[in-house]
Amino acid sequence: MIGAPILVSGIAIGMIIALFQALTQIQEQTIATVLKIIVMVLVAGWTMPWMTRIMVERATDIYHAIPRVMPADHQFYQLWTGGI
């Protein structure tokens, strides 16, 4: 989910460049590579706040789920909760 915008933009620009190269018979690989890199970096920069928010939310959910996953009589649970 997080990597989808970057991957979709790379695939889309790759298809557009491939179509352009097929129509014009220009077979220069550096054009395709450089344009894909530029577009993917721009999309990554544009979606970075959204990706960071999603990753922080998921990490927070996992962190808060630790006490629910560990059994109450486990010694690590006692250390984690301060012996409560």
Query: Does the predicted model carry a pTM greater than 0.95?
Result: no
Domain map (residue ranges) of the chain: 4-81
| 16: nearest Cα among 34, 38, 35, 41 | 35
Give the model's pLDDT for residue 78.
63
Give the model's pLDDT for residue 29.
83
Q: Does pLDDT of 47 surpass 90? A: yes
Query: Are 77 and 71 a contacting pair, CB within 8 Å?
Result: yes
Q: Does pLDDT of 84 surpass 60? A: no
Q: Does pLDDT of 14 surpass 60? A: yes
Quick one: what percent of the chain has pLDDT higher than 90?
Answer: 54
